[in-house]
């Protein structure tokens, strides 16, 4: 992770897990390189305490706040199969996905709807 802050980049977090989350929440706009060109406001804890292995395999803890805490949570969500869209309301998510599909139609990375094969015919 490289958010352009004080920690020498990149911040390497191997098998990270969040040990503590602040009660104080913050809402900020997020986007994602996995689903470019769409953005949404996501509420997350302002501060997290994360434990991980560093690039040398040594356990360390990082107490992060603000934008760095947001990035840590966003990236750990990816490891759990969660996108920032999953933190939005169903209506907001559907609107953004529709916008993304429209913007990406015909381009590389376009989402093509397919009908699943009936069971037993694979």
Interaction site with Zn ion (CB under 5 A): 32
Position with the least CB separation from Zn ion: 32
Q: Phi then psi for 114, rounded to 5 degrees?
A: -130, 150
- Is 75 an active-site residue? yes
Q: Indicate the residue among 52 and 85 with the shorter CB distance to Zn ion.
A: 85
Q: Indicate the residue among 59 and 79 with the shorter CB distance to Zn ion.
A: 79
Q: Indicate the residue among 32 and 76 with the shorter CB distance to Zn ion.
A: 32
Cβ of residue 77: shortest distance to Zn ion, in angstroms? 8
Q: Give 21's contacts (C-beta < 8 A, 6+ positions apart).
A: 45, 47, 48
Cβ of residue 75: shortest distance to Zn ion, in angstroms? 7
Cβ of residue 86: shortest distance to Zn ion, in angstroms? 11
Choosing from 20, 37, 43, 75, the catalytic residue is 75
Closest to 77 measured CA to CA, from 7, 23, 30? 30
CA distances from 71 to 8, 45, 59, 105, 118 (A): 15, 11, 20, 29, 41
């Amino acid at each position: 992770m490289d958010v352009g802050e004080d920690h020498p980049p990149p911040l390497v977090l191997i098998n990270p897990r969040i040990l503590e989350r602040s009660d104080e929440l913050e809402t900020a706009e997020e986007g994602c390189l996995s689903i470019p060109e769409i953005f949404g406001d996501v509420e997350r804890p302002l501060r997290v305490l994360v434990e991980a292995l560093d690039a040398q395999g040594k356990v360390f803890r990082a107490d992060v706040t603000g934008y760095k805490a947001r990035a840590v949570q966003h990236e750990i969500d990816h490891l759990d199969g969660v996108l920032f869209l999953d933190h939005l309301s169903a209506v907001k998510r559907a609107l953004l996905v529709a916008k993304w599909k429209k913007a990406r139609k015909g381009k590389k990375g376009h989402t093509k709807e397919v009908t699943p094969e009936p069971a037993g015919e694979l």
